[in-house]
Amino acid sequence: MTFAKITGTGSYLPGKPVSNAELIAMHGLDSSDEWIIARTGIRFRHLAPANTTASDLALEAARRALGAAGRQPNDLDMIIVATSTPDYIFPSTAALLQAKLGVSNGSPAFDLQAVCSGFAYALSVAEKFIRSGSNRCVLVVGAEVFSRILDWKDRGTCILFGDGAGAIMLEASDTPGILATALHADGSHHKMLAVPGQICGGQPTGDPFLRMDGQAVFKFAVKVLAEVAEEVLAAGGMTAGQIDWLIPHQANIRILQSTAKKLGLPIEKCVVAVDRHGNTSAASIPLALDESVRAGTIKRGDTLLLEGVGGGFTWGAALVKY
């Protein structure tokens, strides 16, 4: 039987960290460092320069994941990029990444859009391709430049987000790696978190900025993250007590704390990167994973629970033997 296993991780954050105080000064926000930390847990985030795209960030993270796995670009037989902030309407950011990596073997490359659940969705899709036997070496990337869709006058949203990319190499294995996955969506909640605009006739129509009902998102996120965690644990025949590390989407420290509490896990078992990265949407889980792997916190053989929730609304989780 063929399984799918993570063989390498990589990540990339553009530029220097931007503190809350610097962000407030840059945009004249009616806020304070203390208020932002108390509400979100965020102290820093990274913001991509104007000429830097999602595929640029993805390229750096991908190179590091390839290096960690001991692979070359032409070893890849599929590239999936989870992003809500693509370089273009088309071609896909994955196709652009493929070109930048120099992959010339004709393997498929495509984007997946599930907002902050994008990495969980992309990981699940990649695992299915590998388990089917059709692919053996898949690059999965989450890459975002959310700073491009923020209204810098809206302190309720602009303080939350950052830019970055994270990547994994997922390969065929004789031993289990991805133990179980679960994915969900409910489009009836789409108004809680959206960018309700588009380009028509060369001009933006509707509202081109990210809009969010913070309280509604918080309540929904805590509920479904706990539910999908229990679902994927049951599918994998495990209990929360057997998890070595919980790696949730890094949206807000209060969501992370509430999710861990609902699962009966000490916060010490929850990987926290939101204080340094902010919310990097589809990049947040692989960013946190790579940092923890490279720091030696997460080790081979550890059991990980990855989970995300995002606009759509979408949510998903994966139980992983690293």
Note if 135 is an active site residue: no
Per-residue tokens: 105: 């073997």
H/E segment holding residue 245: strand 245-248
Give me the catalytic one of 20, 46, 116, 158.
116
CB-CB neighbours of 238 under 10 Å: 16
Choose among 161, 179, 178, 160: nearest CA to 169: 178
Per-residue tokens: 3: 């399984």
Note if 252 is an active site residue: no
216 burial type by CB count under 10 A (0-12 exposed, 13-18 middle, 19+ buried): middle
Give me the catalytic one of 20, 135, 252, 279.
279
Residues 36 and 42 sit within 8 Å (Cβ to Cβ): yes
Give me the catalytic one of 46, 249, 270, 277.
249
Residues 258 and 222 sit within 8 Å (Cβ to Cβ): yes
Note if 116 is an active site residue: yes
DSSP secondary structure letter of residue 269: G
Residues designated catalytic: 116, 249, 279
